[in-house]
Every structure is written in C-alpha cells, then in structure tokens.
Amino acid sequence: MLAEVKKDVLKVPDDDDNSKTPWIEKHLKKQVLGQIGSQLLLECWHSVFVPKSLGIVCIGTEIIFLYMDTEFDHYEALMANNITDNHRSTIHYTKSFDIMKMEDRNELVDFLFWLGCLQIQDFNEYFCC
C-alpha cells in the first residue's frame, strides 16, 4: 500500500506538547492516520505477510514505512461487520527517510532489496550460504 500525503493534512507541530504522543501523530491528522489504517486492513490479504501488511507513506521527499500487525479474528470481524472494542490492530512505523539525503538512501537500499526478494519469494537464493 502506498499513500501520498498532501500538505493540507499535515499538522503544525506543537512545541509545548511534552506528552507521550507518538511523533507521527504530531505530524499527521488523526483522520489521515485512520484512513491509512483502514487501507492497510483492506490490503492485508494481498500481502506476503497475511494477515499483516506493509505500507509506505510519502510526504514530499520523505517516506515512512508502516507495518500493520493484524490478528486474524480482527479481519474476520471486519468482514462480518461485527467490530467490537476487543478487536485491535497495531501500526508500527519507521523514522522518516528523506530520499534527497544520501545517508537516508543508503539506509533504504538493503531494506528495499529485502522487500523485493520477498515479493518474488526468492530470498533464500540471496541469503543462504
């Protein structure tokens, strides 16, 4: 799943906020994060990691990788339109990488190579002795 974030959904950081709020929630509106979560849930059955899923958020030249940890019963409840407070999924995310910075691009190369190997399901050829 790939999502491009438009500038009008970005939040202005509040420098006075010393809470334990994750940094991503300080930069993106909750509605956008909810939409991203919904999209990751919809895409999970097309993922190599079923029922987990991967995503990428693009904000200008910065990208953030997301990993949604979904339990199978949560997905079944969604399909049956039977959601309760007992069903939860968790989204994990990386720091933002600026593709215009050489250091960030260098960090991304190995990860993107690994993802490519997973997609073609041929990673054993590259990583086995």
Residue 75: pLDDT band (50, 70, 90) is confident
SS3 letters for 33-80?
HHHHHHHHHHHHHHCCCCCCEEEEEEECCEEEEEEEEECHHHHHHHHC
pLDDT at 31: 85
Element (H, E) at 120: helix 102-120
pTM of the entire structure?
A: 0.69
Least confident interval from 38-42, 64-68, 112-116, 120-124 = 120-124
Residue 123: pLDDT band (50, 70, 90) is low
Is pLDDT of 40 > 60?
A: yes
pLDDT at 102: 94
Phi, psi (degrees; rounded to nearest 5) at 58 = -110, 125
pLDDT at 128: 58
Residue 1: pLDDT band (50, 70, 90) is low
More confident residue, 71 or 20: 71
